[in-house]
A and B are shown apart, each in its own frame.
Chain A
Amino acid sequence: MSSHVHEVPPAGSSGGFEVSPAVRRAAMVAAVVGLGTLGVGLALYPARALSSLLTSGFLFLCLGLGGAVFLALMYVANAGWFTVFKRIPEAFASYVPWGAVPLLVLVPFASKLYLWARPGIMETDHLLHKKAAFLNVPFFAIRMVLMLALWAGFTWVLRRNSLKQDTERTEALTKRNVATSAVFLVLFGLTFCLAAFDWLMSLEPHWFSTIYALYNFAGLLSSSVCAITVAAILLHRAGALPQLNTSHLHDLGKLMFGFATLWAYLWFSQFLLIWYANIPEETAYFIPRMHGGWAVPFYLNLVLNWALPFVLLLPRPAKRNPAHLLRVAAVLLAGRWLDLHLMVAPSNMPDGAGLGMYELAGIVGVGGLFTLAVTRAVRSAPMIPAGDPYLVESLHHHT
């Protein structure tokens, strides 16, 4: 990592970074093959293919939303350190409309995935009958479309204002983004709760946990900071971001460490209260997940998402070493997938489901889609936001 200060690019250099065509081709093949395999799975093993699509679809949508949340948090905090690599969270945010597609695909197949959507269930299940006014496919679809549209709108505005600043070079655009971010954060906090309840928690329609959305929000923050770090290091290595220095990485490392710990705190807050109270209607969620085929993934989840990253990121030099950060980010991202897999898959496959072909197809397929969207955004806008008033502060960032 270079420590000296680089020249700010002149105004009007509008081209982005040319991502290697091999990467783009690989992402395209991954998206086609992965989503194609899921399409076949939809006919053969619908519950498994849909679980995989929901897990991966939600994971990557959260990376996109996480990019927007990261930006919004930085804007409202008047932070300047991240400006050098702000095009990365912006590129992630540009995935949100793409990421809506895998989730919208779930709607016509809801009856194969969600117990409450099964024909005839409302007549036989009294508890679900009481929730029928909320848990029905048309209202579910309306809520999903509205939330996705709201997020796509806000992420589009945030990115557009930032790109406009490259040529207009006015502070007013930063101020507009601060206001937009403040509104977005409030609306996002509320709608994301709803999304987590709707798309994930309603897989267990008899069960409920009020901390569930917050716990998912911690996972969103942890995984998106990891993905931003990975993208920043890879782009730096590819020569697109020579201005990234060790101090930027150090701060990203601290955020990874902090959000991994926040995740563990919220995971444990949910678990402890249910374990301690030991009420059947609440423990029904954990019993299938802690026994049989799900026992090993259940404990592995804690190791990948907290124990291992905590130890690996504790020393100061660890957070300043790009190769080390890449490894820890890989562990945390794998952990995030496993965490979501544990929320989703046991509902329809109580006996266990490992990392099989359909799970891989989901990761590869939606991951390919995500890579396509991100590389497209990276190519279309200059890597360095030359008009951002915080750029100089960010170039000199030193911890």
Chain B
Amino acid sequence: MSASVLIGYFDSEEKVLDATRAVREAGYALHDVYTPYAVHGMDDAMGLRPSRLTWVCFGAGLTGAAAALSLQYYTSVVSWPLNVGGKPFNSFPAFIPVSFELTVLFAALTTVAAFLIRAKLFPGNKRVALPRVTDDRFAIAVEPREAPADMAAAEDVLRRHGAVEMARVEVAS
């Protein structure tokens, strides 16, 4: 499936923020906004909901901690108890460093993986590369409604907010 989006290019952070708000206020759906660096206030301007990635991270961290603690408990208390320096088999303080490491490892790897999957950044997924958005251009991708007049109106909104260039691109939706 593919859709036609309208791309407006801007040459400054302030203009792209204003234009993003204006596009949404005019009732168009934003496909996405592409910027060379993280622009403060863009989440608000795009009306993005708070990221759910934090919950993935939290859940993965808890899973890591639980996995590490249960593995250590099982190996040193249930499966093969060893007397080490007269310490109790369930030596909780000694389990903490490993649990900490596994918590961080699970949380980090899962979060990165979840982000890549959610953003569809994996091999085989063809993405449109917009020229110059990794350099000095800011781009807004608008999903205009079908009518040709509507396209013209969307272009007008972008132009009024200082778009230096516009293009129509087919993207995978």
Contacts and interface: CB of A to CB of B under 8 A. Distances in A.
Nearest to A317: B50
Interface residues of B, number: 11
A271 B58 contact: no
Nearest to B58: A314
Interface stretch (B27-35, B74-82, B89-97, B161-169): B89-97
Contacts of B85: 278
B70 interface: no
B124 interface: no
Contacts of B50: 316
A399 B40 CA distance: 7
Nearest to B85: A278
A208 interface: no
A398 interface: yes
B41 interface: yes
A276 B94 contact: yes
Contacts of A314: 58
A268 B96 CA distance: 9
B41 A272 contact: no
Contacts of A276: 93-94
Given A278-B85, A398-B40, A272 B58 contact: no
A275 interface: yes
B40 A275 contact: no
B99 to A, nearest CB: 12
Interface in A362-399: 398-399
A315 B50 CA distance: 11
Contact of B41 (A315, A316, A398): A398
Contact of B93 (A272, A315, A316, A399): A272
B54 A272 contact: no
A316 B54 contact: yes
Interface string A295-334: 0000000000000000000111000000000000000000
Interface string B40-78: 110000000010001000100000000000000000000
Contacts of A271: 93
Interface in B88-121: 93-94, 96-97
Contacts of B58: 314
Interface string A246-272: 000000000000000000000010011
A151 B87 CA distance: 45
B94 A272 contact: yes
B83 to A, nearest CB: 13
Nearest to B44: A398
A272 B96 contact: yes
Given A314-B58, A316-B50, A272 B97 contact: yes
A347 to B, nearest CB: 23
B160 to A, nearest CB: 25
A110 to B, nearest CB: 35
B13 to A, nearest CB: 12
Nearest to B61: A314
A276 B93 CA distance: 8
Contacts of B96: 268, 272
A268 B40 CA distance: 37
A274 to B, nearest CB: 10
Contacts of B94: 272, 276
Contacts of A399: 40
B54 A275 contact: no
A185 B39 CA distance: 34
A271 B41 CA distance: 44
Nearest to A396: B40
B108 to A, nearest CB: 16
16 contacts: A268-B96, A271-B93, A272-B93, A272-B94, A272-B96, A275-B93, A276-B93, A278-B85, A278-B87, A314-B58, A315-B54, A316-B50, A316-B54, A398-B40, A398-B41, A399-B40
Interface of B: 40-41, 50, 54, 58, 85, 87, 93-94, 96-97
Interface of A: 268, 271-272, 275-276, 278, 314-316, 398-399
List the 3 closest pairs (A to B, CB-CB), nearest first: A398-B40, A275-B93, A272-B93
Given A272-B94, A275-B93, A278-B87, 16 more contacts: A268-B93, A268-B96, A271-B93, A272-B93, A272-B96, A272-B97, A276-B93, A276-B94, A278-B85, A314-B58, A315-B54, A316-B50, A316-B54, A398-B40, A398-B41, A399-B40
